[in-house]
Structure 1
């Protein structure tokens, strides 16, 4: 006879594995087409001819689709207790178990082909991850949204210890969180802000260089024209990547955290729990300051750092004025003012930073450690005391002669903040105070 489970014991019911959408292999194959054409290059087309080139592309594309089909057939995922398990592999089976306690954010990404087919990719960011931990590409949009909400709900739920003799609590249906809209960035401002960047201002010179190079070759062959158009596209598209990535940027707030949505050709919808926030950075580019604009970014442990700036999901405000940024800061870190006064380092720090010494600053407020740096591009970084993992005092050879030191406040998986070139005695006192406040804040939390 099978003994019944003891009172209060929780038994995890393993649900059946779910597969990715059947169209996933075709989308992966379409993505591989661009890589295949780029790998073969225009020079290969000129050497083998159009017929052989098309045949090589077709064979490689067919192989990519077959591999994607095999991968899709052997890939499955399901939630077991408080873990997301992903099974994959044909010859070498692999199972990844992702504890939801480590989950930092879940992002629903929809590239252009996925938008046309009604699919989406689910990307998970976990603590200490250098890249996206478990991309599920592709699933239906409704399934992706439902799975995101379920994972975030499980990650936020802390199971209470079972009391002897107590019945397990019934879990009711999930409550729809109340969402408050915060910011919608005007696309016109986004375009103007990108025109006020060095990359956009140097764009005519880049185009002129490509045109002059083409004319100096004196060849109007198909290969020469195709190579020139490819180079021209690379020059023109680079400044547009940020605009396309941040198009129709919207920020909202609900019980689960921040809701960020943006993108034109590739839409991204992300939820970031505020209790996972490590730091907030504000940036004032030189040409933006005449319009009173700035950019806000957030730092969350687990965000992938292998992507370039236009692909990283760390935007809090791509462009906006100071009142808008202050309103967002009141939601993210209540009581923190972006106009905080920060004392500069001693005047002898001019030997290390001849022009930027008056701009540098560092100080402590009631809730955060704040540092300011940057001459042409002004930057402010604020780190809550509870997020500081370690404090370091660093001295270089020049700093030792000038009796200066830099104080670093490190966060989990992030850059943290650094008070540059402080007086040596002040640096050690600052480090001691940071350590005390961080320990007190973590204990209070």
Structure 2
């Protein structure tokens, strides 16, 4: 006879948490005051304003830390916080999707880490526990994954009282991206290649001006830094990138100033996007990005920190990684078929690039004139199938078929003949029902 897991006492975050949050807020405070404030009030008053705001933030952080705690109750993670208004968030571990151990630079210097959780239906990261010791963060991550049934075959309810919790099996390394390839890949971006022209333009502009102002120089440098932000963020996020497999999950690690360790259960993987940027095609490089149910998607596309299965790699490496994420699926073997020739009126330049395909396991589409992209969606992840006809499509006798996933991207067979579109939609609906019924039969 098994017994339920005992409720543990409430745990506090690490005592250095208020200081680390205060140091992290320093940059935000300075940016909020802006260069214009410095120019108006002078260095002395500007420093006094920064110190006052920082002290106030640290005091509030100490109060918040004192009343913040967490505990595991059965199969729930409960977060307690609040001084005047007490608030408790209960997160059912059945809804747990991914768990990240994140170590910002200051946390690395102090031996601490932050635990971030993604849950089903969450628009943002739930219950960030910042900060814990590295050992505590990793142990809590493993424990939560075990309780959620994502790190071991043994169910939590099968653990008898007094018996040790099941532990995850050792990781199996899959691939590690070399930092040299990562740096070259980000040099081969429009932002980096056109930066020298921007520098020459700025220098020429200042050379022809009669006066040089501190605010003007600072603003220009800030704008130039913003142009390089995306490639720099990708380098920092994917430095020493490693991919491993463990108990039906993929583990991605990387980062320079902020290290991340993310766990993605394969049963929550909705789709994979393969991208070939224009400047990478000579080297045949591509990147692979997963789309996970319940994980907030970056609003600006493939942003750093949105998660990548492969930041940069050749076709052989992509086949290796894809075989772990979607066994039996190969990008080279997908038989894409082009849309109707009448689609030239809607996409005069890109219509030859568009394509869609159905294999035994997935539906895929191809698009992108300059930056080529292929989206692959397993049939079991399809939630609905739509046939859409816009005004111009109706005049041309065309339709687009969408295979929608749960909160992820939709595979689209664009601009097919109407009869072909309806037949394709019926096939997708039938195959998705059959794929979802396979686990139940097993």
- Normalising by the smaller structure, the TM-score range is over 0.9
Q: 1:213 to 1:15 in 2, by over 3 A?
A: farther
SS at structure 2 position matched to 1:435: helix
2:140 is aligned to 147
| Aligned counterpart for 2:322 among listed residues 325, 329, 332 | 329
Q: Distance in 2 between matches of 1:176 and 1:122?
A: 18
| Aligned counterpart for 2:414 among listed residues 416, 420, 424 | 420
Q: 1:190 to 1:430 in 2, by over 3 A?
A: same
1:3 is aligned to none
- In the TM superposition, what is the alpha-carbon distance from 1:402 to its structure 2 partner? 0.9
SS at structure 2 position matched to 1:234: helix
Q: Distance in 1 between matches of 2:292 and 2:386?
A: 21
Structure 1 gaps of 5+ residues are 1-7
| Aligned counterpart for 1:386 among listed residues 380, 386, 393 | 380
Q: Distance in 2 between matches of 1:254 and 1:416?
A: 28
TM-score (norm 1): 0.92
Q: 2:131 matched to 1:138?
A: yes
1:82 is aligned to 75
Q: 1:70 to 1:219 in 2, by over 3 A?
A: farther
Contact 2:4 2:161 in 1 (8 A): no
Q: Distance in 2 between matches of 1:328 and 1:21?
A: 37
| Aligned counterpart for 2:30 among listed residues 29, 37, 54 | 37
Contact 1:388 1:438 in 2 (8 A): yes
Contact 1:363 1:371 in 2 (8 A): yes
Q: 2:233 matched to 1:241?
A: yes
Q: 2:117 matched to 1:124?
A: yes
User: What do residues 388-425 of structure 1 show as CA deviations (whole Å, max 9, x unaligned)?
Assistant: 11111111101111111111111111113111111111
Q: 1:13 to 1:365 in 2, by over 3 A?
A: same
- Equivalent positions of 1:31-430 (< 5 A) are 31-156=24-149, 171-306=163-298, 309-339=302-332, 340-430=334-424
Contact 1:190 1:319 in 2 (8 A): yes
Q: Distance in 2 between matches of 1:311 and 1:292?
A: 21
- In the TM superposition, what is the alpha-carbon distance from 1:220 to its structure 2 partner? 3.5
Q: Distance in 1 between matches of 2:162 and 2:437?
A: 32
Q: Distance in 1 between matches of 2:255 and 2:215?
A: 33
Single out whichever of 152-161 and 74-83 deviates more from structure 2.
Answer: 152-161
Q: 1:217 to 1:69 in 2, by over 3 A?
A: farther
Q: Distance in 2 between matches of 1:139 and 1:214?
A: 48
Across the two proteins, how many residue pairs are aligned to each other? 435
- In the TM superposition, what is the alpha-carbon distance from 1:237 to its structure 2 partner? 4.1
Q: Distance in 2 between matches of 1:235 and 1:378?
A: 23
Contact 1:344 1:362 in 2 (8 A): yes
Structure 2 gaps of 5+ residues are none
Contact 1:395 1:404 in 2 (8 A): yes
TM-score (norm 2): 0.93
- In the TM superposition, what is the alpha-carbon distance from 1:31 to its structure 2 partner? 1.2
SS at structure 1 position matched to 2:331: coil
Contact 2:35 2:215 in 1 (8 A): yes
Q: Distance in 2 between matches of 1:318 and 1:389?
A: 28
User: What do residues 28-78 of structure 1 show as CA deviations (whole Å, max 9, x unaligned)?
Assistant: 111111111111112211211111111111101111111111111111111
Contact 1:206 1:235 in 2 (8 A): no
Contact 1:17 1:78 in 2 (8 A): yes
Aligned alpha-carbon RMSD (Å): 2.2
- In the TM superposition, what is the alpha-carbon distance from 1:13 to its structure 2 partner? 2.5
- In the TM superposition, what is the alpha-carbon distance from 1:210 to its structure 2 partner? 3.6
